[in-house]
């Protein structure tokens, strides 16, 4: 109140449209297959504490904030290697709708190999911070990688949207034509080589013809 007049405190505040806000967001980041390979080799050489977390984040596209930690609390119930599906209940899913995510064969190989490890290990916050910093991972980069490589290899926006729990419009806008089919095939062929102690690309013939990839 000034001289009996009310002054609106937000009069001079600039209002951004939703489109302008979107334009200020950083571009969608994805991780090249060879960099994913390098990351998983590093995780293996560090004892494998974060292997399952990153395997589920990259190869199933589960949202790292909220969903993945919630799935970890019910791992034996929600991750079913026998049926080949991960269930994201409505109470956990960001969209509040139940989501069924197919388990690709390379993810199954990681989960079987590291079955004795928890998804969220002790000192998780410190460990994840160190890895994200070392590999310069952006927020949701693992999830965006999954969606873009899924579209690249299967050429189905609809299926990618179902797997990720997104709308087709969101997938088209952010993940279409970011990578080619060869990139997608490489991405989903990354498996652990326990003899060498590193991650490797499974032979293309194995990926194409074998229904169940085996750990090398």
Contact between residue 216 and residue 191 where contact means Cβ atoms under 8 Å apart: yes
Integer-rounded Cα Rg, in Å, for the chain is: 20
**pLDDT tier for residue 10 given thresholds of 50, 70 and 90:** very low
Nearest C-alpha neighbor of 22 from the set 121, 164, 169, 127: 169
The alpha carbon of 215 is separated from its chain's Cα centroid by a whole number of angstroms, namely 21
* pLDDT score of 212: 41
Domains of the chain, earliest start first: 31-209 (1.10.443)
pLDDT at residue 196 is higher than 80? yes
pTM: 0.78
Four-point Cα dihedral 198, 121, 148, 179, nearest 10: -20
Contact between residue 111 and residue 103 where contact means Cβ atoms under 8 Å apart: yes
The listed range with the strongest mean pLDDT (58-67, 117-126, 148-157, 197-206) is 117-126
* pLDDT score of 97: 78
* pLDDT score of 188: 95
Which one has a higher pLDDT value, 121 or 61?
121
Q: What does the mean pLDDT of the chain come to?
A: 79
Mean pLDDT of 84-88: 93
pLDDT at residue 206 is higher than 90? no
Four-point Cα dihedral 157, 162, 168, 174, nearest 10: -70
pLDDT at residue 193 is higher than 90? yes
**pLDDT tier for residue 215 given thresholds of 50, 70 and 90:** very low
Q: What is the pLDDT of residues 113-170, one digit of tens each?
A: 999 999 999 999 999 999 999 999 998 899 889 888 888 886 555 455 556 555 444 5
How far apart, in whole angstroms, are the C-alpha atoms of residue 208 and residue 189?
A: 10
Contact between residue 99 and residue 67 where contact means Cβ atoms under 8 Å apart: no
- DSSP notation for the chain: -BTTB---TTTTPPPPPHHHHHHTSPPP----HHHHHHHHHHHHHTTSTTHHHHHHHHHS---TTTHHHHHHHTHHHHEETTTTEEEE-TTTSTTSS-EEEE--HHHHHHHHHTTTS-SS-TTHHHHHHHHHHHTTPPTTHHHHHHHHHHHHHH--HHHHHHHHT--HHHHHHHHTTSS-HHHHHHHTTEEEETTTTEEEEPPHHHHHH-SS----
């Amino acid at each position: 109140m000034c001289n009996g007049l009310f002054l609106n405190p937000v009069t001079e505040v600039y209002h951004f449209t939703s489109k302008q806000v979107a334009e200020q967001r950083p571009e969608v980041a994805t991780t090249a297959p060879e960099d994913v390979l390098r990351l998983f080799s590093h995780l293996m050489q560090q004892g494998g504490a974060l292997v399952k977390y990153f395997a589920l984040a990259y190869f199933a596209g589960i949202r790292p904030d909220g969903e993945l930690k919630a799935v970890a609390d019910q791992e034996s119930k929600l991750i079913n290697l026998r049926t080949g599906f991960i269930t994201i209940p409505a109470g956990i899913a960001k969209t509040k709708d139940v989501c069924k995510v197919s388990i690709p064969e390379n993810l199954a190989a990681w989960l079987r190999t590291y079955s004795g490890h928890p998804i969220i290990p002790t000192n998780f916050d410190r460990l994840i911070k160190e890895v994200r910093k070392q590999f310069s991972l952006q927020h949701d980069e693992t999830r965006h990688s999954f969606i873009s490589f899924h579209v690249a290899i299967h050429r189905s926006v609809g299926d990618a949207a179902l797997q990720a729990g997104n709308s087709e419009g969101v997938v088209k806008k952010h993940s279409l034509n970011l990578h080619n089919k060869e990139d997608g095939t490489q991405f989903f062929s990354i498996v652990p080589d326990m003899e060498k102690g590193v991650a490797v690309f499974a032979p293309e013939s194995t990926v194409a013809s074998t229904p169940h990839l085996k750990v090398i």
